[in-house]
Amino acid sequence: MIIGITGSIACGKSLVSNYLQEKGYTIIDADKIGHMALENDEVKKQLVNKFGKSILKDNEVNRVTLGKLVFENNENLKELNNIIHPQIRKNISEQIQVHKNEKLVFVDVPLLFEAKFDDLVEKIIVISLDEKIQLERLMNRNSLSKEEALQRIKSQIPVREKEKLGDYVVDNSFTQENTYNQVDRILEKLKLGE
Protein backbone atom coordinates (compact mmCIF):
# COMPACT_ATOMS: atom_id res chain seq x y z
CA MET A 1 0.00 0.00 0.00
CA ILE A 2 1.30 3.46 -0.90
CA ILE A 3 0.66 6.06 1.82
CA GLY A 4 1.14 9.78 1.40
CA ILE A 5 2.43 11.90 4.27
CA THR A 6 1.62 15.57 3.99
CA GLY A 7 0.84 18.68 5.99
CA SER A 8 1.74 22.32 5.90
CA ILE A 9 5.28 23.65 6.20
CA ALA A 10 6.98 23.11 9.60
CA CYS A 11 4.23 20.80 10.90
CA GLY A 12 6.50 17.79 11.50
CA LYS A 13 6.38 15.68 8.34
CA SER A 14 10.10 14.93 8.64
CA LEU A 15 9.71 13.89 12.27
CA VAL A 16 7.08 11.33 11.26
CA SER A 17 9.00 10.20 8.15
CA ASN A 18 12.21 9.73 10.15
CA TYR A 19 10.31 7.72 12.77
CA LEU A 20 8.83 5.46 10.09
CA GLN A 21 12.23 5.05 8.46
CA GLU A 22 13.73 4.04 11.82
CA LYS A 23 11.01 1.38 12.02
CA GLY A 24 12.25 -0.01 8.70
CA TYR A 25 9.72 1.44 6.26
CA THR A 26 10.66 2.89 2.88
CA ILE A 27 10.22 6.66 2.65
CA ILE A 28 10.11 8.37 -0.73
CA ASP A 29 10.99 12.01 0.01
CA ALA A 30 9.57 14.51 -2.50
CA ASP A 31 11.71 17.35 -1.10
CA LYS A 32 14.89 15.39 -1.80
CA ILE A 33 13.58 14.50 -5.25
CA GLY A 34 12.78 18.20 -5.79
CA HIS A 35 16.30 19.22 -4.80
CA MET A 36 17.71 16.66 -7.24
CA ALA A 37 15.38 17.96 -9.95
CA LEU A 38 16.99 21.40 -9.55
CA GLU A 39 20.25 19.78 -10.70
CA ASN A 40 18.63 18.51 -13.91
CA ASP A 41 20.07 20.51 -16.83
CA GLU A 42 16.73 20.90 -18.61
CA VAL A 43 14.98 22.07 -15.43
CA LYS A 44 17.87 24.44 -14.68
CA LYS A 45 17.65 25.88 -18.20
CA GLN A 46 13.89 26.48 -17.87
CA LEU A 47 14.36 28.13 -14.46
CA VAL A 48 17.08 30.46 -15.79
CA ASN A 49 14.88 31.34 -18.79
CA LYS A 50 12.04 32.23 -16.43
CA PHE A 51 13.84 33.80 -13.45
CA GLY A 52 17.21 34.90 -14.84
CA LYS A 53 20.80 33.97 -14.08
CA SER A 54 20.62 35.60 -10.64
CA ILE A 55 19.20 32.29 -9.31
CA LEU A 56 22.50 30.55 -10.09
CA LYS A 57 25.53 30.36 -7.85
CA ASP A 58 28.53 28.41 -9.17
CA ASN A 59 26.28 27.16 -12.00
CA GLU A 60 23.87 25.54 -9.50
CA VAL A 61 20.40 26.77 -8.55
CA ASN A 62 20.63 28.81 -5.34
CA ARG A 63 17.55 27.62 -3.45
CA VAL A 64 17.60 30.60 -1.05
CA THR A 65 17.54 33.12 -3.92
CA LEU A 66 14.90 31.12 -5.79
CA GLY A 67 12.84 30.80 -2.60
CA LYS A 68 12.76 34.56 -2.08
CA LEU A 69 11.62 35.09 -5.67
CA VAL A 70 8.81 32.57 -5.54
CA PHE A 71 7.46 33.12 -2.04
CA GLU A 72 7.13 36.87 -2.61
CA ASN A 73 5.13 36.39 -5.81
CA ASN A 74 2.39 33.80 -6.37
CA GLU A 75 2.82 33.89 -10.15
CA ASN A 76 6.51 33.05 -9.76
CA LEU A 77 5.59 30.17 -7.44
CA LYS A 78 3.13 28.82 -10.03
CA GLU A 79 5.80 29.07 -12.73
CA LEU A 80 8.33 27.21 -10.56
CA ASN A 81 5.80 24.48 -9.81
CA ASN A 82 4.88 24.16 -13.50
CA ILE A 83 8.55 23.61 -14.32
CA ILE A 84 9.54 21.30 -11.48
CA HIS A 85 6.42 19.29 -10.56
CA PRO A 86 6.35 17.11 -13.72
CA GLN A 87 9.93 15.98 -12.98
CA ILE A 88 9.11 15.33 -9.30
CA ARG A 89 5.97 13.38 -10.23
CA LYS A 90 7.92 11.24 -12.71
CA ASN A 91 10.62 10.45 -10.13
CA ILE A 92 8.10 9.64 -7.38
CA SER A 93 6.25 7.29 -9.76
CA GLU A 94 9.52 5.55 -10.63
CA GLN A 95 10.37 5.12 -6.93
CA ILE A 96 6.90 3.75 -6.21
CA GLN A 97 7.43 1.13 -8.95
CA VAL A 98 10.77 0.12 -7.41
CA HIS A 99 9.11 -0.49 -4.02
CA LYS A 100 5.68 -1.72 -5.18
CA ASN A 101 6.08 -5.18 -3.61
CA GLU A 102 6.55 -3.81 -0.08
CA LYS A 103 3.50 -3.99 2.19
CA LEU A 104 3.66 -0.30 3.21
CA VAL A 105 5.58 2.45 1.40
CA PHE A 106 5.39 6.07 2.52
CA VAL A 107 5.68 9.08 0.22
CA ASP A 108 6.51 12.33 2.06
CA VAL A 109 5.05 15.10 -0.14
CA PRO A 110 4.60 18.55 1.43
CA LEU A 111 2.48 19.74 -1.53
CA LEU A 112 0.55 16.49 -2.07
CA PHE A 113 -2.77 18.26 -2.66
CA GLU A 114 -1.40 21.48 -4.17
CA ALA A 115 0.60 19.53 -6.80
CA LYS A 116 -2.30 17.11 -7.32
CA PHE A 117 -0.06 14.13 -6.48
CA ASP A 118 -2.74 12.57 -4.26
CA ASP A 119 -3.66 10.17 -7.09
CA LEU A 120 -0.25 8.50 -6.62
CA VAL A 121 -1.16 7.24 -3.13
CA GLU A 122 -3.86 5.00 -1.67
CA LYS A 123 -4.11 6.53 1.82
CA ILE A 124 -3.10 9.92 3.21
CA ILE A 125 -1.74 10.88 6.63
CA VAL A 126 -1.92 14.61 7.35
CA ILE A 127 0.51 15.96 9.94
CA SER A 128 -1.19 18.81 11.76
CA LEU A 129 0.02 21.44 14.19
CA ASP A 130 -1.34 24.40 16.12
CA GLU A 131 -0.89 27.45 13.84
CA LYS A 132 0.98 29.51 16.45
CA ILE A 133 3.47 26.71 17.04
CA GLN A 134 3.81 26.24 13.26
CA LEU A 135 4.67 29.92 12.75
CA GLU A 136 7.18 29.88 15.60
CA ARG A 137 8.85 26.67 14.35
CA LEU A 138 9.12 27.96 10.79
CA MET A 139 10.61 31.29 11.88
CA ASN A 140 13.19 29.52 14.07
CA ARG A 141 13.99 26.66 11.69
CA ASN A 142 14.44 28.79 8.56
CA SER A 143 15.59 32.05 10.21
CA LEU A 144 12.63 33.90 8.70
CA SER A 145 10.85 37.06 9.77
CA LYS A 146 7.21 36.70 10.79
CA GLU A 147 6.14 38.19 7.45
CA GLU A 148 8.35 35.80 5.43
CA ALA A 149 7.11 32.80 7.41
CA LEU A 150 3.47 33.81 6.93
CA GLN A 151 4.07 34.17 3.17
CA ARG A 152 5.31 30.58 3.01
CA ILE A 153 2.45 29.26 5.14
CA LYS A 154 -0.11 31.11 3.01
CA SER A 155 1.40 29.70 -0.21
CA GLN A 156 -0.02 26.30 0.78
CA ILE A 157 -3.50 24.95 1.41
CA PRO A 158 -4.29 25.61 5.10
CA VAL A 159 -3.56 22.62 7.34
CA ARG A 160 -7.20 22.52 8.53
CA GLU A 161 -8.29 22.01 4.90
CA LYS A 162 -5.69 19.28 4.43
CA GLU A 163 -7.01 17.50 7.54
CA LYS A 164 -10.40 17.16 5.82
CA LEU A 165 -8.78 15.66 2.72
CA GLY A 166 -6.69 13.04 4.56
CA ASP A 167 -7.60 9.57 5.78
CA TYR A 168 -5.67 10.00 9.04
CA VAL A 169 -4.52 13.04 11.03
CA VAL A 170 -1.53 13.18 13.38
CA ASP A 171 -1.64 16.19 15.72
CA ASN A 172 2.00 17.13 16.31
CA SER A 173 1.17 19.94 18.78
CA PHE A 174 2.25 17.91 21.79
CA THR A 175 5.28 15.77 22.69
CA GLN A 176 7.32 13.70 20.28
CA GLU A 177 6.23 10.58 22.17
CA ASN A 178 2.58 11.56 21.71
CA THR A 179 3.16 11.98 17.96
CA TYR A 180 4.88 8.58 17.75
CA ASN A 181 1.98 6.94 19.62
CA GLN A 182 -0.49 8.40 17.11
CA VAL A 183 1.66 7.11 14.22
CA ASP A 184 1.84 3.64 15.82
CA ARG A 185 -1.97 3.51 16.06
CA ILE A 186 -2.26 4.46 12.37
CA LEU A 187 0.34 1.83 11.44
CA GLU A 188 -1.76 -0.86 13.12
CA LYS A 189 -4.78 0.18 11.03
CA LEU A 190 -2.74 0.31 7.82
CA LYS A 191 -1.33 -3.17 8.47
CA LEU A 192 -4.92 -4.39 8.68
CA GLY A 193 -5.65 -2.72 5.34
CA GLU A 194 -7.88 -0.02 6.83
CA angle 176, 177, 181 (to 5 degrees): 120
Nearest alpha-carbon partner for 129 in 182, 63, 60, 191 = 182
Element housing 111 (H / E): none
Asked whether residue 15 is marked as a ligand-binding residue, the answer is: yes
Alpha-carbon span 191 to 91, nearest angstrom: 26
DSSP string, 31-67: HHHHHHHTTSHHHHHHHHHHH-GGGEETTEE-HHHHH
17 is in an annotated binding site: no
Distance (Å, whole) CA 69 – CA 161 = 26
**Is 30 among the annotated ligand-binding positions?**
no
For 5, 115, 152, 158, the CA distances from 100, given in Å and listed in that order, are 17, 22, 33, 31
Annotated binding-site residue? 12: yes
Residue 11 marked in a binding site: yes
Q: Annotation-wise, does 14 bind a ligand?
A: yes
Backbone CA torsion sign across 73, 92, 17, 124: positive
Binding site: residue ranges? 10-15
Question: Which residues are documented as binding site for ATP?
Answer: 10-15
